[in-house]
């Protein structure tokens, strides 16, 4: 592609994020052009329903429902994909790269599943592929892992990387909101994925952790390599008991590299109330990267929403527009020859919080602690809560000393099989080994 005298953008998607990107390109094109050094303009916008009322209002003639209007237009230099999902977004991205167009995407699902293939296509066609908005909204974590932190061997990444779940957990913990009500609010604010199951079941965070871990460790960490537990089983009692024990409950994403082996997991965990991650509330995300040279670096900011995500998408767009005509850097997310392996969640050693409903009669705790003891699991505390005299049941909240995940799961199955146990409400990990703030 010869260096253009102006940059034309084809935008695919005009929802929460696309609306912000369109507004930036339509209302602030002069400011953006000044930052780039070349005029930049929005040439076409792909939508599903051209009849929808749009905010911002879009000039007639810009909207299309035909992807070829963007993919086959030689005058469009950069494609911005903010449709979401795998299909048809992934095929549009492949076609755009194959047609020699630079690409900016906010699509964590496609980047997590097909990142290496897309990078190969970008390299073959000598175009750029940037995806800052795919992880943690307005926080510039992807660019830092790909550039500023490259000098480091990264040991670990841990943080809160889904705005919707953090918004829900904050509303449930502090305002006693119901799960469904808090989720509806997150959807209304434009934070949630089109299928919010991806948020609440940890799938979105798994995609994001797959991207971050692959970039950090220079080794492919696929979504299926990551252990996942969502937040949908959490109940008001869990927040109450955790608070009494001195903990907050947060959905954490953690990837660490130890002795040549990577372990990655997404789950709701108890963290000490005075830990910095316990204070990350609402739609805010935070990511801590620990590297060999930089030590611990903390990123904090809004992890979802129109404006923060537009900041990331348009930042990538400016970066690409500045680079056009210059060959891009080598592909990230590729293996660098280190013989790393992926470690199963079974090998995790951590403390646990277990909440269960049991028959309220003598000897019950002895049966449970025998099973846990036989599994090598030592109890740290036991609290009996909310006896239900009518049902003759009681709620037990047990915390343990560090134990192996595989032993815990085996023992839990045996505990669940006891005639005196009526319900296992929740098993959560206590990330007590996180350093205090
Ligand atoms: P959204 O509000 O659901 O918008 C999706 C847009 O894509 C809509 O304009 C829709 O058209 C269009 N679209 C969907 N399927 C299409 C198809 N088959 N052909 C043509 N157009 C299609 O989604 P969003 O929240 O903006 O998210 C977009 C992407 O950004 C996702 O990958 C998401 O994970 C990522 N992201 C979102 C956020 C956030 O806070 N929302 C933050 C970071 C990253 P119509 O308008 O005509 O229906
Ligand atoms: N649904 C995502 C979230 C959007 O809530 O974090 C940002 O990637």
List pLDDT tens digits, range 266-294. 999 999 999 999 999 999 999 999 999 99
Residues 6+ apart with CB under 8 A from 70: 10, 12, 43, 44, 46, 64, 76, 79, 96
Distance from the alpha carbon of residue 396 to the mean position of ligand 1, in angstroms:
44
Decide whether any atom of ligand 1 lies within 6 Å of the 136 Cβ.
no
Question: What average pLDDT does the segment 233-262 reach?
Answer: 95
Task: Give nearest CA residue, ligand 2 atom 4.
Answer: 304
Which of 208, 250, 279, 370 is the catalytic position? 208
Long-range contacts of 113-117 (CB under 8 A, 24+ apart): 113/86, 113/207, 113/222, 113/223, 114/90, 115/211, 115/214, 115/333, 116/220, 116/331, 116/333, 116/334
Task: Give 394-424 pLDDT, tens digit per residue.
Answer: 999 999 999 999 999 999 999 999 999 999 9
Q: Please give the pLDDT value at position 337.
A: 57
Question: What average pLDDT does the segment 74-80 reach?
Answer: 97
Q: Which atom of ligand 2 is nearest to the CA of 192?
A: 1
Q: Please give the pLDDT value at position 328.
A: 45
Percentage, residues of the chain above pLDDT 70:
95
3-state secondary structure of 409: helix
Q: Do the beta carbons of residue 403 and residue 377 sit within 8 Å?
A: yes
User: Catalytic: 189?
Assistant: no
Decide whether any atom of ligand 1 lies within 6 Å of the 49 Cβ.
yes
What tokens were used for 361? Answer: 């009669």
Percentage, residues of the chain above pLDDT 90:
85
User: How far is it, in rounded angstroms, from Cα 207 to Cα 228?
Assistant: 11
φ/ψ (deg, to 5) at 208: -65, -40
pLDDT at 437 > cutoff 60: no
Task: Give nearest CA residue, ligand 2 atom 1.
Answer: 192
Could you tell me the pLDDT band of residue 382, with boundaries at 50, 70 and 90? Answer: very high
Decide whether any atom of ligand 1 lies within 6 Å of the 190 Cβ.
yes
Task: Give 12-29 pLDDT, tens digit per residue.
Answer: 999 999 999 999 999 998
Task: Give nearest CA residue, ligand 1 atom 1.
Answer: 15
pLDDT at 326 > cutoff 80: no
Q: Please give the pLDDT value at position 336.
A: 54
Task: Give nearest CA residue, ligand 1 atom 33.
Answer: 84
Q: Do the beta carbons of residue 172 and residue 199 sit within 8 Å?
A: no
3-state secondary structure of 143: helix
Q: Please give the pLDDT value at position 208.
A: 98
Query: Of 132, 141, 304, 305, which is best to mutate to test ligand 2, by the most ligand atoms within 8 angstroms of its C-beta?
Result: 304
Residues 6+ apart with CB under 8 A from 346: 404, 405, 406, 409
pLDDT at 59 > cutoff 80: yes
Alpha helices (runs of H) in 12-88, residue ranges in sequence order: 16-27, 29-36, 68-71
Decide whether any atom of ligand 2 lies within 6 Å of the 207 Cβ.
no
Question: What average pLDDT does the segment 44-52 reach?
Answer: 95
Q: Please give the pLDDT value at position 327.
A: 43
Distance from the alpha carbon of residue 183 to the mean position of ligand 2, in angstroms:
12
Task: Give 148-181 pLDDT, tens digit per residue.
Answer: 999 999 999 999 999 999 999 999 999 989 999 9
- Between the alpha carbon of residue 160 and those of residues 9, 182, 230, 321, 427, the distances in Å are 32, 17, 13, 31, 19
Could you tell me the pLDDT band of residue 390, with boundaries at 50, 70 and 90? Answer: confident
Question: What average pLDDT does the segment 368-389 reach?
Answer: 92
CB atoms within 10 A of CB 46: 26
Sorted by where each starts, the structural domains of the chain and their CATH numbers stand as 7-137+306-325 (3.40.50.720), 141-302 (3.30.360.10), 346-430 (3.30.70.260)
User: How far is it, in rounded angstroms, from Cα 129 to Cα 135?
Assistant: 15
pLDDT at 3 > cutoff 80: no
Q: Tell me what the pLDDT averaged over the chain comes to.
A: 93
> Judging by DSSP bridges, how do beta strands 261-272 and 247-258 pair with one another?
antiparallel
Q: Please give the pLDDT value at position 302.
A: 97
H or E segment to which residue 326 belongs? none
Decide whether any atom of ligand 1 lies within 6 Å of the 164 Cβ.
no
Distance from the alpha carbon of residue 204 to the mean position of ligand 2, in angstroms:
7
Question: What average pLDDT does the segment 128-136 reach?
Answer: 97
pLDDT at 331 > cutoff 80: no
The model carries a pTM of 0.91
Could you tell me the pLDDT band of residue 330, with boundaries at 50, 70 and 90? Answer: very low
Decide whether any atom of ligand 1 lies within 6 Å of the 292 Cβ.
no
Task: Give 177-215 pLDDT, tens digit per residue.
Answer: 999 999 999 999 999 999 999 999 999 999 999 999 999
pLDDT at 123 > cutoff 50: yes
């Amino acid at each position: 592609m010869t260096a253009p005298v102006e940059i034309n953008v084809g935008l695919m998607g005009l929802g929460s994020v696309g609306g912000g990107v369109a507004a930036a390109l339509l209302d602030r094109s002069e400011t953006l052009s000044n930052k780039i050094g070349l005029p930049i303009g929005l040439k076409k916008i792909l939508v599903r329903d051209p009849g929808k009322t749009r905010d911002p209002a879009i000039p007639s003639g810009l909207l299309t429902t035909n992807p070829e209007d963007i993919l086959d237009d030689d005058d469009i230099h950069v494609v911005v994909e903010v449709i979401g999902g795998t299909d048809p977004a992934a095929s549009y991205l492949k076609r755009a790269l194959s047609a020699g167009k630079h690409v900016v995407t906010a699509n964590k699902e496609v980047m997590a599943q097909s990142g290496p293939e897309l990078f190969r296509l970008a390299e073959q066609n000598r175009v750029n592929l940037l995806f800052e908005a795919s992880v943690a909204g307005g926080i510039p974590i992807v660019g830092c892992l790909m550039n500023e932190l490259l000098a480091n061997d990264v040991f670990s990444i841990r943080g809160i990387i889904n705005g919707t779940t953090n918004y829900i957990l904050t509303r449930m913990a502090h305002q006693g909101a119901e799960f469904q009500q808090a989720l509806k609010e997150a959807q209304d604010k434009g934070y949630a994925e089109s299928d919010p199951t991806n948020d609440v079941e940890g799938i979105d965070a798994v995609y994001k952790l797959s991207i971050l871990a692959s970039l950090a460790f220079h080794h492919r960490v696929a979504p299926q390599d990551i252990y996942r537990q969502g937040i949908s089983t959490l109940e008001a009692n869990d927040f109450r008991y955790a608070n009494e024990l001195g903990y907050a409950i947060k959905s954490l994403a953690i990837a660490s590299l130890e002795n040549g082996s990577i372990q990655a997991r997404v789950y709701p965990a108890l963290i000490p109330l005075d830990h910095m991650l316990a204070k990350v509330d609402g739609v805010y995300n935070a990511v801590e990267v620990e590297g060999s040279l930089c030590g611990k670096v903390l990123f904090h900011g809004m992890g979802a929403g129109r404006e923060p995500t537009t900041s990331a998408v348009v930042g990538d767009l400016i970066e690409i527009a500045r680079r056009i005509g210059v060959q891009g850097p080598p592909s990230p997310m590729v293996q660098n020859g280190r013989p790393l392996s992926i470690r199963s969640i079974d090998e995790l050693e951590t403390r646990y919080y277990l909440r269960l409903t049991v028959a309220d009669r003598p000897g019950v705790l002895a049966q449970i602690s025998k099973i846990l003891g036989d599994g090598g699991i030592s109890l740290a505390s036991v609290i009996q809560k909310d006896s239900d005299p009518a049902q003759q049941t009681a709620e037990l909240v047990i915390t343990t000393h560090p134990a192996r995940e595989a032993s815990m799961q085996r023992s839990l199955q045996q505990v669940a099989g006891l005639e005196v146990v009526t319900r296992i409400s929740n098993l959560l990990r206590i990330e007590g080994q996180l350093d205090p703030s």
